[in-house]
Amino acid sequence: MKAKHLWLIIFGLAAANVLFISLLISEKSVPASAQFSDQEIVASMDNDSISRGAWLQELEDMYGKETLEEMISIRVVRSLAKKYSIEVPEEEIEREYNVIYDFYRDTDSSLQLDNLREQIEYSILLEELLTKDVEIPEAELKEFYENHRSSYEDRHFYHLSHIVLHTKEEAETAISELKRGSGFSVLAKEKSTDGSTAGKGGDMGYAAAEKLPEEYLRAIKSLEDGEFTVTPVETSEGFAVVMLNEERKAGSTTFQEARSRIRREIALQQMDGNMDAKKLWEESGVSWLYGESK
């Protein structure tokens, strides 16, 4: 995937964060039967207080227009996708997820991964709707794929957790506790000497295979997801117990698998990368508090 298109996706997903948070709040977090009074006090101090009405008004003034616009857009995209029978295969969502995860881990981006698959689906549906009338010759699609073949290769990633201890005996004791049913993250918080991961239950996050210690790679070679090493792993810091949370194996994406992504990318380039969902509002007859749909 070319850097320009990857950044378009990342910026689109980052912008969509507020959208999904809004939906989660409006559709999941608040019970249908909940009734709130504008006069309810949500904060108080010595000689003053803040009512729910004042608080909500402040939020509306600061974020209301942007949040409402995003909530409208996601409903428009969902509705039009259904109208035109546009669906995003799970395999495509997973491929995009791996690309973005790869980029995120290598750049230490601030992109939040919560609800990432839902955001990817929204982004792809939006792209499909905006580019549905753009025709790209098959030869151009294949040429693009051949010229950027390396962009469609996935790297080998591991998601590991570890408990680092001073001695082999301490590591063996930890392994015995794990075998008896102790939680890995709980034990890591209690015993691990690695200050950077102990507070996170030993979670090392995702890392490419080439960035992990050789002794870890050898130790986890025969593990399945969710398993831990049953013998201590000697490291420069002492001895460790390593858990394999997940392994994402390297692979490549075929032309047919990448075809829809390539078509969207070329079409978006022709549109100067403009992914404004408001372009779709008129077709859905949107009217809203802040004016016309355009």
pLDDT given for residue 251 in this prediction: 80
Residue 24 vs residues 30, 82, 115: alpha-carbon distances, Å: 9, 21, 10
pLDDT given for residue 109 in this prediction: 44
Domains and CATH numbers, the chain: 3-26+49-152+252-284 (no CATH), 156-248 (3.10.50.40)
pLDDT given for residue 12 in this prediction: 54
pLDDT given for residue 104 in this prediction: 65
Residue type, 16: A
Q: What is the chain's mean pLDDT, rounded? A: 85
Residue 202: which region, alpha, beta or left (left: phi > 0; alpha: psi -120 to 50)? Answer: left
Q: In 3D, which of 131, 96, 90, 92 has the Cα closest to residue 111?
A: 96
Q: Helix 184-191 to helix 168-179 angle, to the nearest 10 degrees?
A: 150
Give dist(CA 223, CA 208) in Å, integer: 17
Give dist(CA 135, CA 119) in Å, integer: 26
Q: What is the pTM of this model?
A: 0.64
Give dist(CA 129, CA 122) in Å, integer: 11
3 state DSSP class of 149 = helix
DSSP state of 151: G
pLDDT given for residue 31 in this prediction: 52
Q: With contact defined as beta carbons under 8 Å apart, do 202 and 162 qualify?
A: yes
Give dist(CA 233, CA 69) in Å, integer: 53
pLDDT given for residue 176 in this prediction: 97
pLDDT given for residue 147 in this prediction: 94
All residue ranges of the chain with pLDDT < 50 are 1-4, 7, 10-11, 14-29, 32-33, 109-110, 294
